[in-house]
Structure 1
Amino acid sequence: MKLSRTASIILLIVANIAIDQISKFIVRAKIAQYEVIELIGEAFILTKVENEGAFLGMGSDLSPLLKWALLLILPVIVLGGVIYYILTNKSLDRLSLIAFCCIVGGGIANVFDRFMYGSVTDFFHIDLGGVFRTGIFNLADMSVSFGMILLVIASFQQRKLEKANA
């Protein structure tokens, strides 16, 4: 049985949200705030942080009204626009469609956290001896980042295809 395009889009978005929310549920239940659990030595750890801001805590010192506007209302409008775009633009290639579904799923998952809990639960941290180091992030952040990388790849593929057809 082949799923319709719309059903596939919804399934991908919901899967991204579900995986993120399940992971956060487990982290909230099992890991104390700022507790450090080494997964691969000090290179890859779990540590629970409640992020009241945006990326890497930016905006956490904003007034409650600005937080609502910039971290809840604006993302909901943007996510709604992206959902409308992917549902109505039938010419999107498969890779771009998957990319947008990852971005939307991760975005919705983090907006859900902000709405329900007032913060986003982050818990992964990578530190490869100072050569590569991340902030503390979650699966929704990974989904958005993966989606952005896929969009860049899809863009290069599309340009290559257009040059070949020209």
Structure 2
Amino acid sequence: MKLKGAYRIIAILALLALNISCDQVTKMMMREHINIYDQHRFFNGHVTLLHVENMGAFLSLGSKLIQPFRFILLTLVPILALIGGLFFVILKKNIHPLMGMGIVCCVGGGMGNLYDRIRYGSVTDFLHLKFGPLQTGIFNAADVSIMIGLGFILLDGFLTSRRQKRIQARRA
């Protein structure tokens, strides 16, 4: 179902607020209740809460960059990308809902991490998963929002491709 007009804008802003709020509440709980580098393991060590402050981006990439390059790559470029993504999803009226939700989740997660970077100088990460030889880096709720958003975008692309192939097959 496609929403129109003010309902569409309200839905976009509500999903954006939900993403940012979940991220900021979980990070606030970590900063207030778990000391830096403290670990708490759950489910036979498969889930670990570990409070770290990440100076870089995904997997600490860019944390060793010198200023002004770190500011440009980790603050300025993301600001422009997030503004662009938000304007795109708001202004493009015929965007498929799954694609729109994906973009909003990515923007919301990005805004949550960007807020941390601007306010605290680093991003609070706290979740680590390990199952046998497979494990994640340390991440946060904003990262989950971004991954869910990317999943929605990929799913939309897959479904759109399938729809187009079916339409072409009917024409043949």
After TM superposition, is the score higher than 0.5?
yes
Unaligned runs of 5+ in 1: none
The answer to whether the aligner puts 1:116 opposite 2:148 as a matched pair is no
**One-letter amino acid of the structure 1 residue matched with residue 142 of structure 2:** A
The answer to whether the aligner puts 1:79 opposite 2:82 as a matched pair is yes
Deviation at 1:165, TM superposition (A): 2.2
Secondary structure (helix, strand or coil) at the match of 2:152 reads helix
Match of 2:139 in 1: 137
The answer to whether the aligner puts 1:50 opposite 2:50 as a matched pair is no
Give per-residue Cα distances to partners, 1:38-94, cap 9 Å, x unaligned.
Answer: 121211110000000011111111112111100000000001111111011111111
Which of residues 7, 29, 32 in structure 1 aligns to 2:32? 29
**One-letter amino acid of the structure 2 residue matched with residue 73 of structure 1:** L
Which of residues 145, 148, 153 in structure 2 aligns to 1:146? 148
The answer to whether the aligner puts 1:162 opposite 2:164 as a matched pair is yes
Unaligned runs of 5+ in 2: none
**One-letter amino acid of the structure 2 residue matched with residue 151 of structure 1:** I
**One-letter amino acid of the structure 1 residue matched with residue 120 of structure 2:** Y
Secondary structure (helix, strand or coil) at the match of 1:50 reads strand
Q: What count of residue pairs does the alignment treat as equivalent?
A: 164
| TM-score (norm: length of structure 1) | 0.96
**One-letter amino acid of the structure 1 residue matched with residue 118 of structure 2:** F
Secondary structure (helix, strand or coil) at the match of 1:92 reads coil
Secondary structure (helix, strand or coil) at the match of 2:42 reads strand
| TM-score (norm: length of structure 2) | 0.92
Match of 2:93 in 1: 90
Give per-residue Cα distances to partners, 1:16-55, cap 9 Å, x unaligned.
Answer: 0001000000000001111110121211110000000011
Secondary structure (helix, strand or coil) at the match of 2:131 reads coil
What percentage of aligned pairs have identical amino acids? 35
Runs of 4+ in structure 1 over 3 Å off: none
Q: Whole-Å Cα distance in 1 between the matches of residues 11 and 98 of structure 2?
A: 13
Secondary structure (helix, strand or coil) at the match of 2:89 reads helix
Deviation at 1:157, TM superposition (A): 0.5
